Amino acid sequence: MPTEMPDFAMPPEADAPARDAAADAAHATGAAGEPSAAPHAAHPERSRVPASPSDEDEEPWGRPDPQPVRRPWRLLLAATLVGVLLGAGLVSAVQGMERAAGDGDRARLTEAAMAYLTAIADGRAEEATRLVPPPGLAGAADLLTDPVLAAAGRITEPQAGFAQIEGDEARIEVGFVLGRTDVSRTLEAVREAGGWRVTTSLAERVQNYAYGPGTSSVSLAGVPAASGELLLYPALYMTDAHDDGFVSTQSVTFSVDGDARTAVEISPMVQVAPGVAERLEPVAMAFGLACQLREGCGIPPGELVPTHQVQPYLEGADATQASVYLARSTDAGGELEWHEVRMRGDFADGADAGDWECGMPSLGTGQVEAWEACVP
């Protein structure tokens, strides 16, 4: 059967105790009728400044703050962070000084390399030799002169690149343009007197295979070039064309790139001057025909044909010697057999052919056994 829920009534609210108006008034005015020094008791929102220095440690409404929780790890962390920052700054400063010193070292190395390259590019061979003396300079430096280098096709666009420094030794990559070719080289250097001195010379040895009557047959910019080993700076060179009335030399161009590993060889064409050759050939032909009529001649009987190949030689200090090659037709299928007639004497213009001497070189020694007048 249905039941009814009992009714509940809230208990009566207790009345708040009545405030003592007289006590409030006394508290507000103080004993002497002055306003109270602690107005925040009645009006807490007006209290903003502590009444005394000791009040700074208390909560503004008069309740003391709880004791602060000390966390020593925060102090340690802060100290560690400061130390790290100071240490990083010190390392950065040291690295900055080292970087500045390294940059200055490389700048001085670059300056030394560029001074050397610029001297070569400007045609100042003698200054380049002073800066970097080539090894084995004695006897091979006759062509390391300003006139020879100035007359050549010199290098252009010299530049210095990557540098590697290890203590008092260094290497630096350099480059330049030779003709239409980009050339790169590595120069070594040593520390000296607060700077750097380049020790790798770009002067290259050139083998001159010229032959002929003396050193006057081959020259560069008017400077005689002896047969054998020459020494030259990187450039494009051209030998002088030469003709002294007896010997003529065609000009030859060659390139020197400053790499000692590459072999540079020149073979200037030195030959008897065409006018002299025209006079020598008929004299040699007459001597060959007369020789064929004698017993024991080096040229057997048969038709002789001049080959127009004349080569000059130098014998002693004053006498010049030339060779004329004559061809003789053989009976074996019309093949040609070559025979050399050597001639010596004064081949200057207007010289009398009767003063020239001729001879046949021995097949065994290659030397003329007996000289005789070319024209009987």
DSSP-derived pairing of the beta strands 195-198 and 372-373: unpaired
Close Cβ partners of 162 (under 8 Å, ≥ 6 residues apart)? 172, 173
Secondary element (H or E) of residue 174: strand 169-178
Nearest to 270 by CA among 252, 250, 254: 250
For residue 299, give the amino acid letter: I
- How much is the pLDDT for 246? 76
Please give the Cα distance from 72 to 99 (Å, whole number): 40
The DSSP secondary structure of 273-321, one letter per residue, reads -HHHHHHHHHHHHHHHHHHHTSTT-SS-SS-EEEEEEEEEEEETTTEEE
pLDDT in tens, the chain (376 residues): 444 444 545 555 545 444 554 444 444 444 444 444 444 444 444 444 444 444 444 444 444 555 555 556 566 656 666 565 565 555 554 444 444 446 889 999 999 999 999 999 999 999 999 999 998 765 556 789 999 999 999 999 999 999 999 999 999 999 999 999 999 999 999 999 889 999 999 999 999 887 655 445 678 998 888 778 889 999 999 999 887 777 778 899 999 999 988 889 998 877 777 777 788 888 889 999 988 888 878 888 888 887 766 777 766 555 678 888 888 877 666 678 888 888 888 776 666 777 889 988 887 777 888 898 988 7
Cβ pair 157, 180 in contact under 8 A: no
DSSP state of 50: -
- How much is the pLDDT for 66? 53
The residue behind tokens 């054998």 is 228
Per-residue pLDDT tens for 257-303?
A: 999 888 899 988 777 777 777 888 888 899 999 888 888 788 888 88
Per-residue pLDDT tens for 183-218?
A: 999 999 999 988 999 999 999 999 988 765 544 567
